[in-house]
């Protein structure tokens, strides 16, 4: 009988295929004691499994497409480092030799013990490390049990056209899904901001996470439909349901082909409003993919990667080289370099800052606050950005502003640097725009003040939502409250856009909401005319912009801001289309 399960949609699209269940090893480990005579062989099996898991990762590393997000490579390297650490095998070997555990049981035992320690920490950065430990140990378990996606060349016939069903998937698995021809995936755990989800989005593989207990309902080989737009998994579909989704699938395929035609088209609405559509990038090399889909520059270059995995701050030259490379790649289009946004969920090596994280890192010394307190971290970056301004249309963007004083201080540092460069005849553009991110509710409410001081504003919804609704963006217990269209959040967005319009200061949006096609028309209706999005969704956003008559939806967007009736609110959103 047809049944449906619900989870969090993380990667759009419809997939139809036979279920292939990945038995990830945390389950189904048999707790059997081994014979004393088997101890050496079991230890050898463990060592071989660790080597196998490492080999698996090394192989995978060679398969990473050049345009894959850079953090996938970093992620695999971290896991390889962990697997190379002799300490990792110590405790399982003790369990095998002293307690006669079988190897899988010993590994699972240690994994659970370590994970439990991490679970008791409330630091978001350390919680991420917990996932690393878990993925690495699960990799060994999979090798021991022989149940995994494997990078072996050639396709696995069980996987071609399959929908994967697993407890959780590592980012590396997402890459292998593409390699093996998997069409979609469902996991019981995970969240929309996990690396696996981000990667699946950029690879265009429809997926749903957080479908608790999915494996209780689904049998191996059963037909599944993944609706990656709505977060619904349909099992054993009847002919009508199947026909419905096949139709939607082919409509979407046609739609995607149509979108390709938009690559070179100007980004204007049906009623002629020109909209700026730019890309978010994390590495200078990321822009190549964005240019292919017609991005008109970079609306957010996150520079944190320059500070990661090191114990000394990056030098002015290192900054400059990265900026030079990006400006060159973007060739003549605007490049918005955001100054360091370290802290909160983006922690770096503690040796870099010599400051504690505090009990609430998201509310602590992060982003511009940290930059202003730590000139050794900040000034080489400011100087490099000012130098880069001589190379092309560079804009500097300040994250996490909470008051005007911070903006004035940064502007002052730029002016002093420019004066020094002028004396030393170092080239720079004296008219380099300096803008700020509106991510703190107090800044959104006072956007008119910021608009008097800054050359442009950019709404960072990822943080604005977290601070406005008072939910930690990395805490999955409160994920359900993370709502871009919470009426209070919408008002903050609308206030910021209006403040910019009144002051004739451009206002853009670079948070994930800008690339969420469910809200493109609402944002246009609120007057947003500049979007910076993940390159993977750029064409779809452009398609919606091109199909919108802004003048006809302004009133609906306005009504959404005013109503206190949830039914009407929903209806207006539906009417926006």
- Give the closest residue to 342 by CA, choosing from 400, 411, 257: 400
Laid out side by side, the sheet with 232-235 consists of: 3-6, 232-235, 223-227, 14-21, 163-166, 184-187, 207-209, 8-11
User: Tokens 């940064």, residue?
Assistant: 410
The strand pair at 184-187 and 207-209 is best described as: parallel
460 forms part of the interface with ligand PEP (CB under 6 A)? yes
Closest contact distance (angstroms) between CB of 484 and ligand PEP is: 10
Rg (CA), the chain: 25
Instruction: Quote the longest CA-to-CA distance of the chain.
Output: 81
463 forms part of the interface with ligand PEP (CB under 6 A)? yes
535 forms part of the interface with ligand PEP (CB under 6 A)? no
With respect to Mg ion, which residue has the nearer C-beta, 439 or 516? 439
510 forms part of the interface with ligand PEP (CB under 6 A)? yes
193 forms part of the interface with ligand PEP (CB under 6 A)? no
472 forms part of the interface with ligand PEP (CB under 6 A)? no
With respect to ligand PEP, which residue has the nearer C-beta, 187 or 280? 280
DSSP one-letter string for 65-125: -TTS-HHHHHHHHHHHHHHT-THHHHHHHHHHHHH-B-HHHHHHHHHHHHHHHHHT---HH
The stretch near ligand PEP (CB under 6 A) out of 21-29, 59-67, 251-259, 459-467 is: 459-467
Residues 416-455: x where in contact with ligand PEP by CB under 6 A, - otherwise, as a string: -----------------------x----------------
Tell which positions 29-88 bind ligand PEP, by CB under 6 A: none
Q: Which residues bind Mg ion (CB under 5 A)?
A: 439, 460, 463
**Residues binding ligand PEP: number (CB under 6 A):** 10
468 forms part of the interface with ligand PEP (CB under 6 A)? no
Return the active site residues.
195, 510
CA angle 471, 476, 479 (to 5 degrees): 50
142 forms part of the interface with ligand PEP (CB under 6 A)? no
Closest contact distance (angstroms) between CB of 449 and ligand PEP is: 20
Closest contact distance (angstroms) between CB of 196 and ligand PEP is: 18
Own/partner contacts of 351-359, CB < 8 Å, gap of 24 or more, are 351/311, 351/312, 352/307, 352/310, 352/311, 352/312, 352/313, 352/377, 353/377, 357/123, 357/125
302 forms part of the interface with ligand PEP (CB under 6 A)? yes
Instruction: Give Cα 486 distance to the centre of its chain.
Output: 21
Q: Would you say the C-alpha torsion 24, 30, 34, 38 has a positive or negative sign? A: negative
With respect to ligand PEP, which residue has the nearer C-beta, 414 or 464? 464
Q: Would you say the C-alpha torsion 471, 482, 399, 340 has a positive or negative sign? A: positive
If contact means CB under 5 to 8 A according to the sort of partner, which of ligand PEP, Mg ion, none does residue 461 touch? ligand PEP
d(CA 378, CA 27) in angstroms, rounded, equals 47
d(CA 199, CA 196) in angstroms, rounded, equals 5
Near ligand PEP by CB under 6 A: residue from 52, 167, 188, 341: 341
Near ligand PEP by CB under 6 A: residue from 4, 462, 486, 563: 462
With respect to ligand PEP, which residue has the nearer C-beta, 462 or 475? 462
Residue 528 main-chain phi, psi, to 5 deg: -70, 130
Closest contact distance (angstroms) between CB of 460 and Mg ion is: 4
Closest contact distance (angstroms) between CB of 501 and ligand PEP is: 21
286 forms part of the interface with ligand PEP (CB under 6 A)? no
Name the site residues for ligand PEP (rule: CB under 6 A). 300, 302, 341, 439, 460-463, 510-511
């Amino acid at each position: 009988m047809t049944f449906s399960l619900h989870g969090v949609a993380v990667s759009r699209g419809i997939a139809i295929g036979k279920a292939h269940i990945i038995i990830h090893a945390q389950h189904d480990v048999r707790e059997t004691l081994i014979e004393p005579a088997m101890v050496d062989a079991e230890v050898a099996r463990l060592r071989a499994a660790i080597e196998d898991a490492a080999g698996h990762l090394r192989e995978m590393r060679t398969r990473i497409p050049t345009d894959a997000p850079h953090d996938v490579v970093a992620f695999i390297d971290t896991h390889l480092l962990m697997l190379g650490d002799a300490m990792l095998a110590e405790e399982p070997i003790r369990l095998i030799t002293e307690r006669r555990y079988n190897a899988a049981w010993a590994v699972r035992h240690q994994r659970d013990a370590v994970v439990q320690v991490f679970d008791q920490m409330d630091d978001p950065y350390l919680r991420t490390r917990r996932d690393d430990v878990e993925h690495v140990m699960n990799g060994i378990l999979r090798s021991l049990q022989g149940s995994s996606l494997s990078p072996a060349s050639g396709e696995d016939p069980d996987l071609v056209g399959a929908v994967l069903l697993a407890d959780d998937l590592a980012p590396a698995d997402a890459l292998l899904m593409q390699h093996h021809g998997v069409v979609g995936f469902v996991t019981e755990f995970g969240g929309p901001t996990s690396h696996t989800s981000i990667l699946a989005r950029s690879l265009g593989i429809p997926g749903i996470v957080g479908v608790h207990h999915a494996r209780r309902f689904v049998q191996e080989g059963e037909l599944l439909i993944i609706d990656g737009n709505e977060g619904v998994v349909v099992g054993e579909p009847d002919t009508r349901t199947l026909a419905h989704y096949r139709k939607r699938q082919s409509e979407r395929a046609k739609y995607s082909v149509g979108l390709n035609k938009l690559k070179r088209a100007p980004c204007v609405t049906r009623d002629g409003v020109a909209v700026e559509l730019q890309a978010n990038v994390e590495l200078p090399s990321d822009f190549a993919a964005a240019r292919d889909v017609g991005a008109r520059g970079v609306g957010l270059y996150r520079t944190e990667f320059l500070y990661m995995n090191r114990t000394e701050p990056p030098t002015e030259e290192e900054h400059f080289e990265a900026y030079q490379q990006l400006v060159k790649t973007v060739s003549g289009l605007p490049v918005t370099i955001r100054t360091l946004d370290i802290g909160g969920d983006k922690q770096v090596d503690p040796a870099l800052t010599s400051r504690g994280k505090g009990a609430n890192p998201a509310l602590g010394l992060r982003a511009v606050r940290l930059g202003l307190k730590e000139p050794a971290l900040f000034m080489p970056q400011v100087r490099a950005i000012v130098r880069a301004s001589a190379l092309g249309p560079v804009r500097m963007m300040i994250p996490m502003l909470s008051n005007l004083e911070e903006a004035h201080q940064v502007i002052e540092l730029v002016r002093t640097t420019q004066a020094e460069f002028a004396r030393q005849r170092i080239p720079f553009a004296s008219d380099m725009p300096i803008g700020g991110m509106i991510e703190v509710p107090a800044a959104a409410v006072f956007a008119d003040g910021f608009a008097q001081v800054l050359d442009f504003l950019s709404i960072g919804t990822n943080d604005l939502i977290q601070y406005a609704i008072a939910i930690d963006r990395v805490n999955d217990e409160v994920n359900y409250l993370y709502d871009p269209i919470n009426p209070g959040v919408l008002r903050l967005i609308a206030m910021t856009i209006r403040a910019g319009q009144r002051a004739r200061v451009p206002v853009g949006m670079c948070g994930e909401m800008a690339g969420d096609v469910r809200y493109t028309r609402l944002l246009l209706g609120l007057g947003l005319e500049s979007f910076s999005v993940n390159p993977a969704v750029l064409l779809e956003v452009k398609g919606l912009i091109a199909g919108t008559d802004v003048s006809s939806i302004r009133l609906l967007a306005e009504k959404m801001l005013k109503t206190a009736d949830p039914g009407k609110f929903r209806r207006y959103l539906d009417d926006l289309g």
